[in-house]
A and B are shown apart, each in its own frame.
Chain A
């Protein structure tokens, strides 16, 4: 009898573990979590060689004509400003140094258009981006502006000076 009890307990426990592990579906983000905490590149989302975000600020468009530019993030390799009109957000403008995540470059291979000589692509439904000097990604994202309007704003960045930054 004793041996049976000894046998039943671990079997039941294993069964219970099986059931509980089955009920929780793995998250679609589990792999990124694993790689970013356990892989060889763990805890390194941003390259040490990335430009300081603050050095990008001067290349953003000048506001005016009823628009206001409010800088909202300035991290290593990244700067973001919100474009506002009458106090409402119209678009989010960003520059980032893709030395930290070079896969961002891939999408520009499909580019068929250029602004100031730099390749342009649309990304998803809301974003249009330009790749400057193979290193800096300039992006305009908006749920209200049209694709053409997003391109107009991209054109207002000082892309040529940004290209000389590196």
Chain B
């Protein structure tokens, strides 16, 4: 039996490297994200309710909805959980070696493996596809509704969902691939063969959930998703004047590193954070609770 949703939300951490990294991105989406954890707490925050009977009824209905597999919530959570590549041991070691408020990165260089550009570009695109598919699962749209997703990015994405997209752009785009990451990803995708895609670890974990019968059509879906979201991402970067240096200056608040080690910072964040799982769980809980309060 899968773990109850109230336990999953109760066990979301209040502070770890993921939370520190996301807090460092507050300047990108000011005030949008606060680290909302705990099932009851989330019910109170999302609904504004204080009546204990109401809170019980909302929670009960949310649990029923989550446990009905046909409703897609469990699938969405699996996607968010599976796409992150986290090395728990490294995260623990890094936190243990914190000096004051900051983690000195130079102590871990030998344990960090930066992603080569091609693998990083594929990772970014697969995270994007996970967002599209999970969005459709959570909101009840056919799994390949890229158009609805893009529309929603502009109108509907806020709070933890918008923070997740900000982190995708910053931690999986700008820092590892540089200011022209969209061009780079575009040209890597243009040349990508299905056999290279099949060698990618992230694709191997998530591939079955990507719409398409074979790797060729899944690659087509990846291309379509990236092409549709590219414009939104480029506007997001431009509107906020984002570049690797600006982001790095905010990361200096909690990681100590020299500026020629961008690849290592990217690798470190990749290996020690699970921001997709963390904010994805928060997104799912919010959606579930909003539906539950409407239905009781």
Question: Which one of A45, A46, A80 contacts B290 once the chains associate, using CB atoms below 8 Å?
Answer: A80
CA–CA, A126 to B51, complex, Å? 11
The answer to whether B294 touches A96, judged by C-beta atoms less than 8 angstroms apart, is yes
Taking CB atoms, residues of chain A closer than 8 Å to B287 are 73
* B278 interface contact, C-beta 8 A: no
CA–CA, A103 to B292, complex, Å? 13
Taking CB atoms, residues of chain A closer than 8 Å to B59 are 28-29, 32
Taking CB atoms, residues of chain A closer than 8 Å to B64 are 32, 36, 45, 101
Taking CB atoms, residues of chain B closer than 8 Å to A92 are 290, 294
The answer to whether A46 touches B61, judged by C-beta atoms less than 8 angstroms apart, is no
Which of A4-12, A136-144, A146-154, A157-165 lies at the interface with chain B? A136-144
Write the nearest CB–CB distance from A146 to chain B, whole angstroms. 14
Chain B residue total in the interface (Cβ 8 A): 41
Contact with B along A15-43 (1 / 0, CB 8 A): 00000000000011111110011000011
Write the nearest CB–CB distance from A149 to chain B, whole angstroms. 15
CA–CA, A131 to B291, complex, Å? 17
Which of B66-74, B208-216, B234-242, B246-254 lies at the interface with chain A? B66-74
* A124 interface contact, C-beta 8 A: yes
A44-B68, A74-B139, A76-B140 given; A143·B294 CB < 8 A: no
CA–CA, A74 to B145, complex, Å? 13
A33-B67, A70-B156 given; A125·B140 CB < 8 A: no
CA–CA, A101 to B57, complex, Å? 12
A45-B71, A137-B295 given; A73·B63 CB < 8 A: no
* B149 interface contact, C-beta 8 A: no
* A100 interface contact, C-beta 8 A: yes
The answer to whether B296 touches A143, judged by C-beta atoms less than 8 angstroms apart, is no
Contact with B along A71-100 (1 / 0, CB 8 A): 011111010101000000100101010101
* B60 interface contact, C-beta 8 A: yes
* A53 interface contact, C-beta 8 A: yes
Write the nearest CB–CB distance from A61 to chain B, whole angstroms. 16
Write the nearest CB–CB distance from B186 to chain A, whole angstroms. 30
Question: Which one of B63, B65, B295 contacts A29 once the chains associate, using CB atoms below 8 Å?
Answer: B63
Measured CB to CB, the nearest residue on chain A to B295 is: A96
CA–CA, A6 to B49, complex, Å? 55
Write the nearest CB–CB distance from A147 to chain B, whole angstroms. 14
Taking CB atoms, residues of chain A closer than 8 Å to B152 are 72
Chain B interface, >50% SS class: helix
CA–CA, A98 to B63, complex, Å? 17
CA–CA, A101 to B72, complex, Å? 19
Taking CB atoms, residues of chain B closer than 8 Å to A55 are none
CA–CA, A42 to B63, complex, Å? 11
The answer to whether A73 touches B291, judged by C-beta atoms less than 8 angstroms apart, is yes
CA–CA, A16 to B1, complex, Å? 25
Write the nearest CB–CB distance from A145 to chain B, whole angstroms. 12
B: which residues have CB within 8 A of A? 1, 4, 6-7, 10, 39-40, 47-51, 54, 56, 59-61, 63-65, 67-72, 138-141, 152, 155-156, 158, 287, 290-291, 293-296
Which 10 pairs from chain A and chain B are nearest by CB?
Answer: A75-B140, A94-B294, A45-B68, A32-B60, A45-B64, A36-B67, A143-B48, A32-B63, A124-B54, A36-B64
A: which residues have CB within 8 A of B? 27-33, 36-37, 42-46, 53, 68, 70, 72-76, 78, 80, 82, 89, 92, 94, 96, 98, 100-101, 103-104, 123-127, 137, 139, 141, 143
Contacts A29-B60, A74-B139, A101-B64 known; list 14 others, CB within 8 Å. A29-B6, A29-B59, A33-B6, A33-B67, A45-B64, A45-B65, A46-B65, A46-B71, A75-B291, A76-B70, A80-B290, A137-B294, A139-B294, A141-B47
